[in-house]
Amino acid sequence: MRTYVLIPGGGCGPGYWDRLAPLLDGEVIALDLPTADESAGLTEYADVAVKAIGDRDDVVVVAHSLGGLTAPLVAARVPVREIVFITAMIPKPGEKGGDWWERSGYSALGVDMSDENATFYNGVDPEGIALANAAVRDQSGGPMVEPWPLEALPDVPMRFLFCTEDRFFPLDFMRRMVADRLPGAVTGEVPAGHMPMLSHPKEVADFLNRS
């Protein structure tokens, strides 16, 4: 049976996948990462995923936002069917997570963060926002400090889901980043903001289930 391993974005617990998980065609493991632990970085996040996968052999790794830095590390350690990035950060070898913002060109965008709810949760209904608020976790800077350790992205199939209404990671920027850092990836899009698993779970599930 296929297993979907869901790697959350920054400061998010497993609960924000609750609308998506029942729609996936297989077992679902929504990871609970040590986000509040300052000593835990990408390696420790990958450790959690690898332990959860165990000896499963038909695994789809799904990464949202900050989770994009962890997903390839998992795929380099255990066999996976593919990685699916959902409006996610794509790493480069040797690049620190904290440097991604400048080196990717994101910092130059001047994204308006004056109302974080409007930036992160546009398109999410009040019940979905309540679900997200219940799943919020403290996020340490641990994943931002270590150079990304692989020499290249692992040689596994990769797909990327663009969110056309994302105010945090705007569409044009994400298209440029994927063209630069993930050339040749199969892509799709959903008319959602940064939290499509809350606003458009069926469309996200349809994309994931096509693996």
- Structural domains in the chain? 3-209 (3.40.50.1820)
pTM of the model: 0.97
DSSP 188: E
| Nearest-angstrom CA–CA distance, 200 and 190 | 8
What is the 3-class SS of 123-141, one letter each residue? CCCHHHHHHHHHHECCCCC
- Cβ atoms 183, 35 nearer than 8 A: no
What tens digit of pLDDT does each residue of 96-135 get?
A: 999 999 999 999 999 999 998 999 999 999 999 999 999 9
How far apart are alpha carbons 142 and 97 in whole angstroms?
9
CA distance 169 to 78: 29
Contacting residues for 51 by C-beta, under 8 A, at least 6 apart: none
6-28 pLDDT per residue, tens: 999 999 999 999 999 999 999 99
> CB–CB of 156/184 below 8 Å?
no
